Structure 1
Amino acid sequence: MQKALFLDRDGVVNVEKHYLHLIEDFDFIEGIFELCHAATLSGYCLIIVTNQSGIAREYYTEQQFIDLMSWVVDEFAKRHLTILDFFYCPHHPVHGMGGYRIDCTCRKPKPGMLLEAERKHNLNLSESILVGDKLSDIKAGKAARLKTAALVGTGHRVSEQEINTADVFARSLKELKDQLFPFTVKANHGI
């Protein structure tokens, strides 16, 4: 069984933008690749888990989302990083249109995407880490009984309640890397 570093997308992998779905609007957050290199060196596989209510609201299609994610996976690969998989929730219980308007089990703060990843890839969730920028991410990580639910201040503004709910808090991805993977920082300085 392998352990995973689960990454929320908007606000962790990329700069938070209103219903982002175009490659030309996609900007990686400083430190994401260094964090992922440290995680990989520490034996973690990389998986993205993301709520995408823009699909439910019909701002963009699932295919547009998948096309963008394929580009993201390629960008990681160019930096010698493998995104094992990505999981997304296209639903919204209130603002969804048609079949997307459901109270599903995959939308964070529910742990559905994490549990699906566990089944699909035979993961050890009790040794896995989730990195998110919102309370819903942290709650999903705790509901799935992950080893660590880490909150970063790179996306949404974080409250004291959110900081206190998380197992780890860091203002930047570099700071988070130093907290989660301190030994790889010294051994692999300059990645």
Structure 2
Amino acid sequence: MSDGVDLGRRRFLGAATGVTSAIGIGFVAVPFLSSWKPSARAQALGAPVEVDISKLDDGALMRVEWRGKPIWVLKRTPEMIERVEQADPMVRDPMSEEPQQPEYASGRLRSIRPEVLVVIGSCTHLGCSPSPRFDVGAEDLGGADWPGGFFCACHGSKFDLAGRVWRGVPAPLNLVVPPHKYVDDATILVGEDEGVA
């Protein structure tokens, strides 16, 4: 009779030990495996950013951040689009043939839709942030020759309303167009394009 009691007790102790060991392994494994996963901050830095342009007025500039970089979304008016064409003789790369933009945003306007420009707001000279200077004919930027655009006060670089760099300024390249796509008519996803505009 004592053998039956001992056998039952052994089974119970064996099962209890197994369950306790499994729980202990779980407590050790979860933090260890979690350490392999990128932090929430790291995930957020690389994640695409949705931009709602439904309330963006004509001629207005919206600023958002993606991967720690300033992203500018400019809703150009028909007059601004005309001024991009007029700036061709003054810019270094009129048809945007150098690769600072995805293929779907190449050409003079450097955008998927003519009225919406999406660029990284960092000067291609030393990374300063240019200021929007949409005032046509600004005396301090060349007078009648200034069609409006962006001016980097750090070293005097100028960019037109398509982010194309002017000739004879320190910045060597156009402002960079990040990968982006339209989710719908009012939403742009910056940081993801899947090769589709």
One fold, TM greater than 0.5? no
TM-score (norm 1): 0.24
TM-score (norm 2): 0.23
- The higher radius of gyration belongs to 2
More helix by share: 1
Higher RCO (CA < 8 A, seq sep 6+): 1
More strand by share: 2
